[in-house]
Amino acid sequence: AYSQTMPSMWDSRSNGKEHPNLKWFKDAKFGIFIHWGLYSKLAGEWQSKRYYGSGEWLMYQAKISAKDYGLVAGEFNPLKFNATEWVDLIKSSGARYMVVTAKHHEGFAMFDSKVSDFSITKASPYGKDVMKELSGAAANAKLPFGFYYSQFLDWHEPNGGGNDWDFKQSKDYHKYYEEKSIPQLKELLTNYGKLGMVWFDMPGGLNKQETQFLVDDLHKLQPQTLFSSRVGQGLGDYMDFGDSEMPAEPIAKPWEAIYTFNDSWGYIAHDQNFKTSSDIIRLIATASSKGGNLMLNIGPDGDGSIPQANIDCLKSVGRWLKVNGESIYASIAGFIPAQPWGVTTSKPGKLYLHIFQRPNNGKLLVPGFSPKAISVSTLAGSVALKWRQTGEDLEVTLPNVPVTGLADEVLTVSYAGKTPDYQNSMP
């Protein structure tokens, strides 16, 4: 089972008081993460040398000085950016929230900030506040919207965390928080409408009491906004696991797994290991089968375009969710643990069987589940399937080909009686 002793960076509300506005988040199940900044223009290359690893860490990988890196802002001109197109794509993917990087570790504000001139409105030829456009387009589409903000790591600032290749003197982290981090967080919570969440990342420099003060101070601006657990010290409103991590067992607290489309969060020119739509559907179903959400990251390029492979894949995931969304949205963990053939999610009176691997003999066994099953069908239409009880188990005979014609088929077992509790893997 999953380790209960999570490092405080991942754990959420350890004080037990759950945030009152979590239902929409728990029901959403699928969100889209966007990493977009100056690193998107550099695309993993610096002075004609390729750096491997995640594109948004290029400044660190190449040990670029804040001065040299700052010059990139003067070339950042994403003329192909279209906020409505981005939001329309996210809606068509079936995602029910989005989070976008307002400021990553590079320190560059992708928004109009009175606090720092190192921003898209003051330091780039583009000059427009893309966060204002995105938050407006999301509000028009009624898509819950949040900002990612790197509250401690800031490689552009002498007192920011993380840059010891350029700023070698000792750092006054509290000064950084007072002069940049907290004022910018307040700008984001004041000037961009109602926020679904603030997605903090890589906490540091504050103790638990200081973090509590920060959380309380920011929550005064928008009490309904959820704070991710990477605000640190166990004080987030929902739990984010480590990158590309999935808990082994269902977790009772609201939680989110975060994965990226390829091998990098920020756009890089030389990486083509994109996940398939089936990979993403299985991540969504697996997270839902454990009671959590999947937030999937895409990395638009320096011109403001989303790679075509991401567009095609997100639309395919959206088509699957159009047919099978009932088994995902507002579902809870399936009470049958993961099986060789796939995972389960549930709702009162229903168990959804997510078939990743069709049994060769066409017999799908659901162990330890022998209700008076009323019917077994698929969400693509009420196709009655053959099933029988074998002692303690339910066995479903599958048709030769998937009924929906889609990969990753879902069967619905409707039954009488209350939903059993999650059964642990060991009988």
C-alpha span between 263 and 284 (Å, rounded): 18
C-alpha span between 379 and 375 (Å, rounded): 12
For the bound state, the minimum distance from the C-beta of residue 119 to ligand FHN, rounded and expressed in Å, comes to 19
For the bound state, the minimum distance from the C-beta of residue 102 to ligand FHN, rounded and expressed in Å, comes to 12
CB 124 within 8 A of CB 77: yes
For the bound state, the minimum distance from the C-beta of residue 154 to ligand FHN, rounded and expressed in Å, comes to 12
For the bound state, the minimum distance from the C-beta of residue 242 to ligand FHN, rounded and expressed in Å, comes to 7
* Torsion angle of C-alpha atoms 56, 57, 60, 63, degrees rounded to 10: -60
What lies within 8 Å, CB to CB, of 45 at 6+ separation is 51, 58, 269, 270
Nearer to ligand FHN, 231 or 413 (CB): 231
Nearer to ligand FHN, 243 or 393 (CB): 243
Binding mask 172-201 for ligand FHN (x = CB under 6 A): -----------------------------x
Name the one range near ligand FHN by CB under 6 A: 49-57, 163-171, 267-275, 360-368: 49-57
What token pair was written down for 241?
A: 């696991």
Q: Coil, strand, or helix at residue 265?
A: coil
Could you say whether residue 154 binds ligand FHN (CB under 6 A)?
no
The interface with ligand FHN within residues 263-292 (CB under 6 A) comprises 265
- Tell me which residue has tokens 């900002």: 147
Q: Which of 59, 130, 251, 258 binds ligand FHN (CB under 6 A)?
A: 258
Sort strands 239-240 and 255-260 into parallel, antiparallel or unpaired.
parallel
Provide φ and ψ at 61, rounded to 5°.
Answer: -60, -40
Could you say whether residue 262 binds ligand FHN (CB under 6 A)?
no
Name the one range near ligand FHN by CB under 6 A: 53-61, 67-75, 189-197, 327-335: 53-61
Binding mask 198-227 for ligand FHN (x = CB under 6 A): ---xx-------------------------
Name the one range near ligand FHN by CB under 6 A: 54-62, 123-131, 327-335, 345-353: 54-62
37, 50, 60 from 44: Cα distances, Å: 12, 6, 11
Phi-psi region of 302 (alpha: psi -120 to 50; beta: other; left: phi over 0): alpha
C-alpha span between 93 and 315 (Å, rounded): 5
Nearer to ligand FHN, 202 or 330 (CB): 202
Provide φ and ψ at 182, rounded to 5°.
Answer: -65, -45
Residue type for 205, please? G
Binding mask 57-96 for ligand FHN (x = CB under 6 A): x---------------------------------------
Residue whose C-beta lies closest to ligand FHN: 265
What lies within 8 Å, CB to CB, of 64 at 6+ separation is 46, 58
Q: Put the strands of the sheet holding 342-347 in their side by side order.
A: 332-333, 342-347, 350-355, 410-415, 373-378
Could you say whether residue 54 binds ligand FHN (CB under 6 A)?
yes
Could you say whether residue 157 binds ligand FHN (CB under 6 A)?
no
Could you say whether residue 243 binds ligand FHN (CB under 6 A)?
yes
Cβ burial of 23 (10 Å; 0-12, 13-18, 19+) is exposed
The interface with ligand FHN within residues 295-314 (CB under 6 A) comprises none
Nearer to ligand FHN, 172 or 243 (CB): 243
- Residues in contact with ligand FHN by CB under 6 A are 54, 56-57, 201-202, 243, 258, 265
